[in-house]
């Protein structure tokens, strides 16, 4: 199996100002075509150190993939460093110049000398066109068949180039016949240990697909990795195992692969022809943000209110002041009132509310940090749920968000439209 090392270029990465997400994407992409990744590295925008790192990686692996440092500025030196490492000369890519000229003309800008620098490529390199930006990528070859592939740092330019051009090229070059397909089942409201208990025997039996359980905030994923000659075969290996796991875990599985809780909630509500409103205190809009992150949310999600101050809970959501005085803003009673107020004032069929103590201060012995109430109101009434969440402020807020959506999902599943007379 051919191997590769990945190099992320950028001084910002070394300073901790930027989190390296490119390496994770490239690593997953290579796994998907059956290439082994034997090492990942980070290096600053320094010609000598990049050249040394790339040269060393080429001794160990069949190829190196770098991201970043292909731009027009003086600190972009990846290309020069790769030429140094390979002992390669350079050439100007006429097509890349033309593409840049067209792009700049359409934007009414003039092509500068430093942009032309981007069209200089190592001699003999294969060009990877950049559909979303100016800097082309390339694959430079060593005489022994080893390669250095360089892609831009901007994630969406990099992703399109890797998926659309680099992977097919590597598959052809190395005659790769193995692919790994991952199928993920998402669960809500079940502990990792309980999942483990229910499917432990499958774990042990099954080598292909490999099964892994991954705990993740309040949800837990079961991942199935199938390895085969092509996608279809890998999927065929995965399917019966996925069915078996669905049968065993059943009611706790809310979706698969890219489906989020917010996506599933919106989809279920859309099927019912119903709409959703939100009232948030301690999550400050995160529930609404999760919902609006889903494309096409507008036909279901009517809107959300961030009612942080008690006075806002009263004015905007109609929570009676005496209920706040009696039970406190962080209570099942006030959560229920907030949800009902949102449903009434926003005119939705359903509403979800969250109120709690996110911390780090503001906790009392009666209402400690991490105490959160979520309420769900729908056509058949209101339910309030008490949660005791752990973690620092941002985690409490995120967990509360996921939990609120999970509780809503459960009610949607348990209460089919028109199941009960009102």
The enclosing H or E element of 100 equals: helix 94-106
List the single partner that 8 binds among Mg ion, ligand ATP, none, CB under 5 to 8 Å by kind: ligand ATP
Q: Which residues pair with 277 in a beta bridge?
A: 303, 351
77 vs 302 by CB, closer to Mg ion: 77
Question: Least CB distance from residue 72 to ligand ATP, whole Å?
Answer: 6
67 vs 355 by CB, closer to Mg ion: 67
Give the per-residue contact string, 46-85, with ligand ATP (x = CB under 6 A; - = no). Answer: ---------------------xxxxx----x---------
155 vs 250 by CB, closer to ligand ATP: 155
H helices of 150-260, in order, are 155-161, 167-173, 192-205, 231-249
77 vs 351 by CB, closer to ligand ATP: 77
Give the per-residue contact string, 20-59, with Mg ion (x = CB under 5 A; - = no). Answer: ----------------------------------------
Give rounded-to-5 percent helix, strand, coil for the chain. Answer: 45, 25, 30
Determine the Cα–Cα distance for residues 79 and 27; give it in Å rounded to an integer: 21
Are the C-beta atoms of 38 and 20 separated by less than 8 Å?
Answer: no
**Joined tokens for residue 21:** 């997400």
Give the per-residue contact string, 130-169, with Mg ion (x = CB under 5 A; - = no). Answer: ----------------------------------------
332 three-class SS: helix
Question: Least CB distance from residue 55 to ligand ATP, whole Å?
Answer: 20
List the single partner that 137 binds among ligand ATP, Mg ion, none, CB under 5 to 8 Å by kind: none
**Joined tokens for residue 228:** 């085969």
Binding segment for ligand ATP among 13-21, 57-65, 281-289, 386-394 (CB under 6 A)?
13-21
Are the C-beta atoms of 252 and 190 separated by less than 8 Å?
Answer: yes
Question: Least CB distance from residue 158 to Mg ion, whole Å?
Answer: 12
10 is a site residue for ligand ATP (CB under 6 A): yes
Are the C-beta atoms of 62 and 147 separated by less than 8 Å?
Answer: yes
Question: Least CB distance from residue 126 to ligand ATP, whole Å?
Answer: 18
Question: Least CB distance from residue 13 to Mg ion, whole Å?
Answer: 12
265 is a site residue for ligand ATP (CB under 6 A): no
**Which residues make Cβ contacts (< 8 Å) with residue 55, sequence separation at least 6?**
85
What phi, psi does 286 have (nearest 5°)? -65, -35
**Joined tokens for residue 34:** 């059956």
76 is a site residue for Mg ion (CB under 5 A): yes
What is the sign of the dihedral through the CA atoms of 137, 142, 148 and 149?
positive
What is the sign of the dihedral through the CA atoms of 97, 100, 105 and 108?
negative
**Which residues make Cβ contacts (< 8 Å) with residue 178, sequence separation at least 6?**
1, 33, 34, 227, 228, 229
Are the C-beta atoms of 219 and 186 separated by less than 8 Å?
Answer: yes
226 is a site residue for ligand ATP (CB under 6 A): no
* The pairing of beta strand 179-188 with beta strand 253-256: antiparallel
334 is a site residue for ligand ATP (CB under 6 A): no
The enclosing H or E element of 344 equals: helix 332-346
Question: Least CB distance from residue 347 to ligand ATP, whole Å?
Answer: 41
Question: Least CB distance from residue 325 to ligand ATP, whole Å?
Answer: 49
Binding segment for Mg ion among 73-81, 211-219, 309-317, 398-406 (CB under 5 A)?
73-81
Q: Which residues pair with 30 in a beta bridge?
A: none
List the single partner that 280 binds among Mg ion, ligand ATP, none, CB under 5 to 8 Å by kind: none
Residue in the shown chain whose Cβ atom is closest to ligand ATP: 71
Name which position in 2, 10, 71, 226 contacts Mg ion (CB under 5 A): 71
Q: At what angle do helices 261-272 and 393-414 cross, to 10 degrees?
A: 30
Question: Least CB distance from residue 109 to ligand ATP, whole Å?
Answer: 14
71 vs 341 by CB, closer to Mg ion: 71
Are the C-beta atoms of 1 and 35 separated by less than 8 Å?
Answer: yes
Binding segment for Mg ion among 70-78, 195-203, 237-245, 300-308 (CB under 5 A)?
70-78
Residues lying near Mg ion in the complex (CB under 5 A) are found at: 71, 76
Residues lying near ligand ATP in the complex (CB under 6 A) are found at: 8-10, 13, 18, 20-22, 67-71, 76, 135, 152-155
């Amino acid at each position: 199996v051919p191997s590769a090392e990945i190099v992320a270029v950028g001084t910002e990465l070394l300073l901790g100002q930027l989190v390296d997400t490119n390496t994770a994407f490239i690593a997953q992409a290579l796994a998907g075509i059956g290439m082994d990744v034997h090492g990942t590295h980070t290096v600053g925008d320094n010609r000598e150190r990049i050249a040394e790192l790339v040269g060393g990686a080429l001794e160990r692996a069949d190829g190196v993939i770098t991201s970043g440092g292909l731009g027009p500025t003086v600190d972009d030196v990846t290309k020069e460093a790769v030429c140094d490492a390979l002992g390669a000369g350079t050439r100007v890519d006429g097509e890349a110049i033309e593409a840049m000229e067209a792009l700049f003309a359409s934007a009414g800008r003039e092509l500068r000398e430093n942009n032309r620098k981007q069209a200089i490529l190592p001699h003999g390199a294969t060009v990877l066109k950049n559909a979303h930006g100016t800097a082309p990528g390339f694959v430079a070859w060593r005489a022994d068949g080893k390669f250095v592939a360089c892609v831009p740092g901007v994630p969406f330019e990099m992703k399109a180039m890797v998926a659309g051009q680099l992977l097919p090229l590597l598959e052809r070059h190395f005659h790769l016949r193995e692919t790994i397909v991952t199928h993920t089942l998402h669960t809500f409201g079940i502990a990792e240990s309980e999942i483990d208990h229910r499917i432990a025997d499958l774990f042990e039996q099954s080598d292909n697909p490999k099964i892994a359980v991954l705990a993740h905030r309040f949800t837990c994923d079961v991942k199935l990795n199938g390895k085969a000659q092509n996608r279809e075969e890998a999927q065929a290996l995965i399917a019966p195992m996925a069915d078996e796991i669905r049968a065993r875990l059943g009611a706790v599985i809310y979706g698969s692969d890219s489906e989020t809780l917010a996506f599933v909630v919106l989809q279920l509500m859309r099927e019912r022809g119903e709409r959703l409103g939100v009232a948030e205190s301690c999550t400050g809009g995160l529930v609404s943000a999760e919902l609006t992150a889903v494309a096409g949310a507008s036909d279901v999600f009517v809107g959300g209110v961030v009612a942080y101050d008690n006075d806002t809970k009263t004015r905007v959501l109609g929570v009676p002041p005496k209920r706040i005085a009696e039970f406190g803003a962080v209570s099942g009673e006030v959560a229920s009132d907030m949800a009902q107020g949102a449903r009434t004032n926003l005119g939705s069929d359903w509403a979800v509310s969250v109120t709690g103590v996110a911390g780090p201060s503001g906790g009392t012995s009666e209402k400690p940090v991490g105490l959160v109430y979520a309420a769900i109101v729908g056509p058949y009434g209101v339910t309030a749920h008490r949660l005791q969440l752990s973690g620092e402020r941002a985690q409490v807020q995120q967990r509360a968000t996921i939990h609120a959506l999970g509780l809503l999902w459960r009610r949607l599943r348990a209460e089919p439209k028109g199941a009960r007379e009102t």
